[in-house]
Amino acid sequence: MAPRSMETSELSVSERERFLLSALQTDTSARARRRARILLDALAGKEIALVARELKTSPARIQYVLRAFEEKRLASFSAAALKRVTAPPKPRRASPPLTAQTSLRVAARRIIAHQAAKLKHTEQGVRFGSDIEAVHAMRVACRRMNSAFRLFRDYLPKARTKKLRRTLEELRDVLGAARNLDVLRADLETFRADAAEADRAELQRVADAWDAERAIQQRALIELLDSEKFQEWRKQLDAFLNEKEENHSPHIAAILPALLWQQYGAVRAYETEIGNASLEELHGLRIQIKRLRYTLEFFAETFGEKPDALLEPLIALQDELGVIHDAAVAGQALTGFVTAEAHAAKRAGQAAPDFRAIAAYHADLQARIQARRAQLSDLWECVVASSFRERLAQITAQL
C-alpha cells in the first residue's frame, strides 16, 4: 500500500493560521517548532512516512499532531507559544547614528545586531522552502555578520566571538549549498528554454538530480535551524549584542581609515594577476572586494552620505566575478553529474547515456566565462584608478 499522503487528511487553514504556523517554526520552544513543521508539511502534501523519517519519529505521532490540530486548531499549541508569536513586538529605542567619535566596540555590536535582525527576518521564508530569495537574503546576512566579526576581531572578546562565528559559519555553509543549487536550477532552466525538445528531455535528468540534492540540502537546513545548538547560539548572540558596551575602545575615526586602506590593499594585491588569474584566484578577489564593500556600507552613515562613487565600481566588478563563479560551479556540477551517470551505466552493464545536450550546455558555460573574463579589465581599472584612491582618501580624511 502506498504511504498515505497528508493531502488526504483534508487539512486546511486560514491565511492567519498559516501565518502563525510559519511564525511558530521560529519559536523558542522546540515542541512548538516541531508541531508547526508537521502541520506545514501536511499543507505541502508531504507523505506521513517521509515526515516521520525526517523528524525521527513514528507515523502515529504525526497523525496525533494532525488530529489535535483538526480538533483544537491553534489551541493545540501552548498558550505561551501563541502569546510569543501574536504579541506585538516591543518598541526598540532608536540607536543614535554612528559618528567618527563612536566607540568601535559600540559600532561593532550595532552593525552585527543589524545583520542579526535581517537573518531572523528571513527565517520563516527559508523554512517554507519555496522562497529562494529568503535563502539568498539569509546567506547574505550570514556573510555580512561574519565579515563584521572578522573586521572587528581585535576589538571584541576573542573566545566568545570565535564560538559565535563557528555556528554562524556552519549556517552560512549550509545556506550556501542550498543557494548554489537554486542558482544552478535557474540557469539550467534558462538554457533549456531555448533548447530543442529532445535536448530538453535530456537536460531534465540533470534538473531532477539537482532537485533531489536541493531537497536534501533543505532538510539539512531545517535540521540545523531546529537544533538545540542553533537555539543556544541565538541566545548567546542576543546576550552578546545586548551587553552594555563601555565607550573605552578606540573611536571609529582612529581606526577606520587604516581598516579601509588595508582592505583596499588586499584587493590591489591581485593587480599583477588579474590578466591571467585562475578561477580560484578570481573567486579570491571577489571575496576581498566584498569585504571592502561591506566595510564601506557598514560605516556609510559615518561618512555623512553613502559612498556611491566607491561602491558602484566595486559592485560592478563583484557582479561580473559572480557570473564567472556561478558558471564555473555549474560546469563542475555538470561534470559530476556526467561522471556519476557514466559510472552507474557501467555498473549496470549498460551503454553510457547520450550527453550531447549536457555537453552543449557545458560549452555554453565555458564560453560565458571567457566572454566575461574579457570584460574584467575595464571594470578592474575603475577600482585601481587614481580617482578611486582620491575619493577613498577624501572620505577617510573627513573622519
Domain-embedded: residue 62: yes
My answer on whether 346 and 233 are in the same domain is no
Phi/psi at 5 (nearest 5 deg)? -80, 145
Domain shared by 333 and 299, yes or no = yes
Please report whether residue 91 resides in a domain.
no
* Nearest-angstrom CA–CA distance, 301 and 52: 50
Instruction: Report how many domains make up the chain.
Output: 3
Dihedral of CA atoms 338, 343, 346, 351 in degrees, nearest 10, equals 0
Residue 205: other Cβ atoms inside 10 A: 15
According to the model, what pLDDT value does residue 127 have?
84
67 and 174 co-located in one domain: no
> Does 89 reside within a domain?
no
Domain span holding position 192:
102-247
Answer yes or no: do 119 and 243 share one domain.
yes
Kindly report whether the global pTM for this prediction surpasses the value 0.75.
yes
Q: What is the pLDDT along the chain (399 residues), one digit of tens a residue?
A: 344 444 445 567 777 777 788 778 777 677 888 888 888 888 777 888 888 888 888 888 888 888 888 888 888 888 888 877 776 555 455 567 889 999 999 999 999 999 999 999 898 888 877 788 999 999 999 999 999 999 999 999 999 999 999 999 999 999 999 999 999 999 999 999 999 988 999 999 999 999 999 999 999 999 999 898 999 999 999 999 988 876 678 999 999 999 999 999 999 999 888 888 999 999 999 999 999 999 999 999 999 778 999 999 999 999 999 999 999 999 999 999 999 999 998 898 988 888 999 999 999 999 999 999 999 999 999 999 999 999 999 999 988
Last residue of a domain, one of 247, 281, 298: 247
Q: What share of the chain is helix, strand, coil (3-state, %, to 5)?
A: 75, 0, 20
Residue 120 inside a domain? The answer is: yes
Give residues with Cβ within 8 angstroms of 132, minimum separation 6.
179, 182, 186
Residues 375 and 327 occupy one common structural domain: yes
Same domain, 257 and 369: yes
CATH number at residue 115: 1.40.20.10
- According to the model, what pLDDT value does residue 34 have? 83
- Domain presence at residue 93: no
